[in-house]
Amino acid sequence: MVFSFMDMNKELVRVKGKGGLTPLHLASENGDVEFLAEFLTACPDSIEDLTVRGETALHI
């Protein structure tokens, strides 16, 4: 289902939630390699997105 939404709009990967976390941050936090790969393929620039604490997905 997540991938269906991304097919409609790849920028959804960059939508921030509580604490500024994006889906990429959450996938990183949960160690979900499949989602990480899909999100980064769909929107490579999302790796630069920061949380309210200034963290990228690599920091998490």
What tens digit of pLDDT does each residue of 16-56 get? 999 999 999 999 999 999 999 999 999 999 999 999 999 99
Look at residue 4 and tell me whether its pLDDT is greater than 80.
no
Question: Do 35 and 25 meet the contact criterion of CB atoms below 8 Å apart?
Answer: no
Distance CA 7, CA 2 (A): 9
Residue 10: per-residue pLDDT: 83
**Nearest of 60, 42, 44 to residue 52 by alpha carbon:** 60
pTM of the model: 0.86
User: In the structure, what pLDDT confidence band is assigned to residue 5 with cuts at 50, 70 and 90?
Assistant: low
Domain spans, the chain = 1-7+19-60
User: In the structure, what pLDDT confidence band is assigned to residue 11 with cuts at 50, 70 and 90?
Assistant: confident
